[in-house]
Amino acid sequence: MHPYVELAKKAVEEYSINKKYLPKPKILPQEFQKRAGVFVCLKTFGNLRGCIGTIFPTKDNLYEEIIKNAISAATEDPRFEPIKIDELDKIEYSVDILSEPIRVKDYSELDHKKYGVIVQKGLRRGLLLPDIEGVNSVSEQVKIAKLKAGIAPDDNDVEIYKFTVQRYK
């Protein structure tokens, strides 16, 4: 198991059982020292059970960003009830580390398998990660991101950004 995934799992378990955040180690391993946006997704039996993340880093390092987003995915995703202790052994974790978003001018710059999208209009913003099961085209990916942002699917007066992820399972 990759150290990012292992950290997400330990963070959810510690919080679910003891209502505590994992302490930061005195010496933070190199791989956790950089800053980036992070999404943590939880699945049970292949079905989404929670997914929360940050587009841009909100913490000082990946260690803290992963812990925050893992616990949020387990307890604060509005689509699901919080994870229960008896579910912990059934959860599959994935951690996506996001690149800096880049604004695109045209759908031809997108690829739903390779890039995630951010759709923005004013203060409304919706994000969809790349390579999501059941999302089969760029137009479908953008439509879902618009709906997540509360933007009408036919509203084309939006800013669109793309980003890549490094996905760890």
Show which of 75, 98, 121 is a domain's final residue.
98
CA 39/CA 43 separation, integer angstroms: 13
Range of the domain at 68: 3-98
> Coil, helix or strand for 22?
coil
Distance between start and end Cα atoms, the chain: 7
For residues 116 and 132, what is the distance between their CA atoms, to the nearest angstrom? Answer: 9
User: How many folded domains does the chain comprise?
Assistant: 2
Number of Cβ within a 10 Å radius of residue 136: 11
The token pair at 155 is 């509203």
For residues 106 and 159, state if they share a domain: yes
* CA 113 to centroid of chain Cα atoms: 16
The pLDDT tens digits of the residues spanning 28-46 come to 999 999 999 999 999 999 9
Residue 137: per-residue pLDDT: 97
Structure tokens at 97: 């580390």
Per-residue model confidence as pLDDT tens digits over 88-145: 999 999 999 999 999 999 999 999 999 999 999 999 999 999 999 899 999 999 999 9
